[in-house]
Structures are given as C-alpha cells and as structure tokens.
Amino acid sequence: MSSSNQPSAANLASAEHIRNNPKFAELVRKRNAFAWTLSAIMLIIYFGFILIIAFNKAWLGTLLAQGGVTTIGFPIGVGVILSAIALTGIYVYRANGEFD
C-alpha cells in the first residue's frame, strides 16, 4: 500500500477541528432531525396504506365513478409513490441549500 493513500496529519487535524466545531455539530443535528422527520412521514404514509389494505380492502376497491374501472386504491397507491418522490425532492433541495 502506498503512502499516497494515507491521509496526512494535517488533513486528520483539520477533520478533527471541523468535527469539534459547535456549528458543525448543530448542522449535523439539524440534518439528522430533518432526515428522521421525513423518514417518519414516509413510514406513516406507507404503513397507513398497508393498514388500509389489510383492514379495509373493500373500501380501496370502491370505484371512483359509477361504470368506471378505476378504484379508490389506485390514486392512493400512486399518491404513496409520488409522496416518496416529493419527500426525496424536499430533502435534496434543503440538503443542497443548507447542509452542503
């Protein structure tokens, strides 16, 4: 293994200095809280949908319009997928603006 793959002492000291900075610690705390909040929202949406599937299948099978073929479950399922995309976009937007 060559020595060029090893971090220099200056780089290690700089990284340690950054980790010990209170502003960095606050940024990490904010980012983690934000990420956990978005994760909790997504889990509530997803497991809410799964619970409806488990306990109220008939309601999800209700037709949107009389004589139609689309059920209530279809737009709700699409909504679950779109919510995941939207929450990812929200995270990326804030991460690029505030956390990076």
Cβ atoms 62, 72 nearer than 8 A: yes
- Please give the pLDDT value at position 1: 47
Distance CA 4, CA 2 (A): 5
Domain ranges of the chain: 34-97
Q: What's the predicted TM-score (pTM) here?
A: 0.77
Digit-coded pLDDT (tens) for 39-61: 999 999 999 999 999 999 999 99
Digit-coded pLDDT (tens) for 66-96: 999 999 999 999 999 999 999 999 999 999 9
Cβ atoms 83, 42 nearer than 8 A: yes
Cβ atoms 70, 60 nearer than 8 A: no
